[in-house]
Structure 1
Amino acid sequence: MRYCFLLFYEAGDFEVMNLTVKLASPALPLCEEWKEGLDGSLFHLANILLFLGFMGGSGFYGLLYLFTFMTLGFFCSILWAWSDPCTTDAFLWNFALFGVCLAQVLYIAYKLRSLTFDKDFEDLYNCMFKRLGVSLTHFGKIVASSDGAVHTLEKGQCFAVEEKTQIDKLSVLLSGRIRVTVKGEFLHYIHPFQFLDSPEWDSLRPSEEGIFQVTLHADNQCRYIAWRRKKLYLLFAKHRYIARIFALIVRNDIAEKLYSLSDKAFDRAGHHFDLRLPSYCHMPEPELERAHDLLEVPIPGERTA
C-alpha cells in the first residue's frame, strides 16, 4: 500500500513539473523598435561619412578626400561604440581603422606640401603639363631638373645670337615676348608658354653639338625657365614617361611655329606656299629658285613663256 502511494506521488509530481515547464528564451534578443538617441545618430552619421569617402577620385587630392572622410566616419563609429559597453570589440576595430586613416591623411598632406610650387611653375604646369595628365610627382622631377630657377631677360637683351650661341639647353618663356630674326629679317614672335629653342633642341642628337641659326632678343622684359641638356637627358634616361611627354610638347611647339611661318611664306611672285611641303631650307640657291618657279600658280588669262 505504501509503495503504491509513493508511486502515485512521484507520478503526480512529475505531471506538475511538466505543466510548469517554460519555453527557453532565444539566444539573441528581438529588435522591437528603432534605437533612438545620440548613439543611434552617430551610427548613421558614421556610415554616411564612409559612403561619401568612397566617392573620392584618384590622385593626391582624391586620396586626401577619401581618407579624410573615412577618418571622420571611423571617429563617429568610435563614439557610437563607446556608448555601448557590449561593443568593446567594435570600438577597438574602429579605433584601429581610425588610426590608420588618420596616418594616411597626414602622409598625403605632407606629400602635397612637398609638391607645392611657386606661381610660375604652377602656371607652367596648368598650361602645358596638366592637360596631358602629368602627375604632380612627375612634374616635381621636371622642376627639380631645372633647379627651380627662373631667369630674366631685359628689354633688348639677346637670348641667343645666330652662329655664335651654343645649343646647350631647352627653355620655356613664362612672360614677355621674344622676337626671332635671321640675318636681320623678322621670322616670328615667341609668346608665353612656348619653347624658345625647340627647333634647335629637336635638330640635335644627345651626343651632338650645335649653334643657333637665328637670333632671339627680348621685345620687353621676359622671364623663362631653362633645362640643361645633359641634366634633362639624364632625367629622360631614368623616366621614359617624362621623355615621351617632352617629345610630344616639343614637336607640337615646332608644328605651331611652322604653321605661323607658313602664313608669311611667299615666293618672289607673291604666291603663298605651304611649309608643310618638303623642306627647301637646305637646297642650293639655284634649286631653290627652280622650286619657287614650280610653285608659281598661273593667273587665268596670262600667257606663259
Structure 2
Amino acid sequence: MSRIMLLLSAMALGLVVDSAKTSTDLKVTRDTDILGNETHKSNGPGDWTIEHCTSWHRPNHLYYQLGNAFFFLAFVAPHGSYGMLWLRCSLIVGCILLTMWGWIIECTGDVVLWSSIFLATNLVYLIVLLCRLRPVRFEKEIESIYSSLFQPLRVSRYQFKKILSCMKLIRSLRYQEVYAQEKVSKIDSLSLVLSGKLVVSQNQKALHIVFSNQFLDSPEWFGVSTDDFSQVSITAIEESRILIWHRDKLKLSIMEEPFLQTVFDHILSRDVVKKLMQVTQVNETMAASNGFLPGEYDETKEKPMMLMKKGSSDGHGITALISRQLQELDDLPYLIISILI
C-alpha cells in the first residue's frame, strides 16, 4: 500500500511518467557502491527524481552521528534563559559537525552551505542571549533601591535596568533646600528618595515626612496630569539625594509590560498608604499643639519650610512631630489597601 501511495505521489509531481517505460527511456542508471548496494538514479537535468533503494547503505561517518546527537540534545533543552543557552550551544556544535561531515567526508557543497547558514544564525542568537544573561550591576544606592523595593516583587535586573533608562537625573539637595513649591512646581516627574529626609507641607502646615526608599509624589501618580501644579511644598531637612524619572516616559515604558505596570501601581499604592498613616499622626499632634509654620515665611523664597528657632513656641508642635516620626520610623505600620492597587 505504501508503495502505491509513493508511486501516485511521484506521478502527481511529474517525477515518474509511466511504469511501463524502460530504464533507457527514463535515462535511469544503476549505481552500485563497493559493498554491493544498488540504487536507481535519474540522469536527467536537475536530478529531482526519487531514488529507489534496492538495499540499505552502511551508516554514515561519526561526524554525522555526533551532529545529530547534539541536535537531539537541543530538542530536549529545558525552558528558561539557561535552557535557551543549552539549545543554542547544542545546535552550534551540531552544525559544526555536519559542516565537517559535508566538507571532509561527503564533499557535498549543499550540505556545507546549509550547515554554515544554520551555524551563523545560531551564533548570532547565542551572542544576543549572552548579552542578555550578562550580570547587570548598579551603583550602591541604586542597588539598595532594587533590593528593598523591586527584587522582592521578582523584578529582574534587566527589567529594572529598563526602568532606570527613563531616569532624568539624580539630584542632590542641601540642608533646608526646597525641592518643590506649592502651586508653583509642575508635576512632570516621579521622585524617589535615595538618602536623606524631606518634609511635606501644605498651606504652611506639616503633612508628613518622606524617608529614604519612599516616593515624594506617589499620590500624584494616580490620575494627575503633568500640566497640573504641585499641591504641596517639599523641603529637605537634611542632605538628601533624589532619583527623578521622566513621568510620561516612564509610564509609556512600563505600559509595554503589564507586569511592570502592576509592580509600580503596587509599590506606589503602598507608599500612599504610609503617607496617609503619617498624615493621621500629624492631625493627632496638631490637635494638641500648634503645628503651623511661622508667619514671616514667604512661599516665593527658597527658605526652610519646617525649621523653627530653638525655643520658639510656634515651632514646638512641629518640632515634636518631626522628632517623633524620626524616632518611630521603624515602628510605622505596614498596610496595603487593595482598592488602591
Classify 1:199/1:236 alpha carbon distance in 2 versus 1 (closer, same or farther; 3 Å): closer
Classify 1:181/1:151 alpha carbon distance in 2 versus 1 (closer, same or farther; 3 Å): closer
When you count helix as a share of all residues, which structure comes out higher?
1
Q: 1:57 aligns with which of 80, 88, 99?
A: 80
Q: Name the structure 2 match of 1:27.
A: 55
Structure 2: how far apart are the matches of 1:159 and 1:178? 12
Q: Which structure 2 residues correspond to residues 142-161 of structure 1 after superposition, within 5 A?
A: 142-147=163-168, 149-154=169-174, 156-160=175-179
Kindly indicate whether residue 196 of structure 2 is the aligned counterpart of residue 177 of structure 1. yes
CA deviation profile, 1:67-116 (whole Å, cap 9, x unmatched): 34432342244345555327765444332211111122234556778x96
Q: Name the structure 2 match of 1:282.
A: none
Kindly indicate whether residue 64 of structure 2 is the aligned counterpart of residue 46 of structure 1. no
Asked if 2 retains the 8 angstrom alpha-carbon contact of 1:125 and 1:139, the reply is no
CA deviation profile, 1:258-295 (whole Å, cap 9, x unmatched): 3455577748999xxxxxxxxxxxxxxxxxxxxxxxxx
Which of structures 1 and 2 has the bigger CA Rg?
A: 1
Q: Which structure 2 residues correspond to residues 99-118 of structure 1 after superposition, within 5 A?
A: 99-109=120-130, 118=138
Q: Name the structure 2 match of 1:208.
A: 228
Q: Name the structure 2 match of 1:233.
A: 248
Classify 1:91/1:122 alpha carbon distance in 2 versus 1 (closer, same or farther; 3 Å): farther
Give the fraction of aligned pairs with identical amino acids, expressed as a percent: 22
Structure 2: how far apart are the matches of 1:98 and 1:124? 42
Secondary structure at 2:56's aligned position in 1? coil
Kindly indicate whether residue 185 of structure 2 is the aligned counterpart of residue 166 of structure 1. yes
Q: Name the structure 1 match of 2:105.
A: 84
Letter of the structure 1 residue corresponding to residue 236 of structure 2: H
Secondary structure at 1:166's aligned position in 2? coil
Between the two proteins, the alignment pairs up a number of residues equal to 230
Classify 1:71/1:260 alpha carbon distance in 2 versus 1 (closer, same or farther; 3 Å): farther
Query: How far does residue 236 in structure 1 lie from its aligned partner after superposition?
Result: 3.6
Asked if 1 retains the 8 angstrom alpha-carbon contact of 2:67 and 2:97, the reply is yes
Structure 2: how far apart are the matches of 1:68 and 1:124? 36
TM-align CA RMSD: 4.6
Q: 1:258 aligns with which of 245, 261, 276?
A: 276
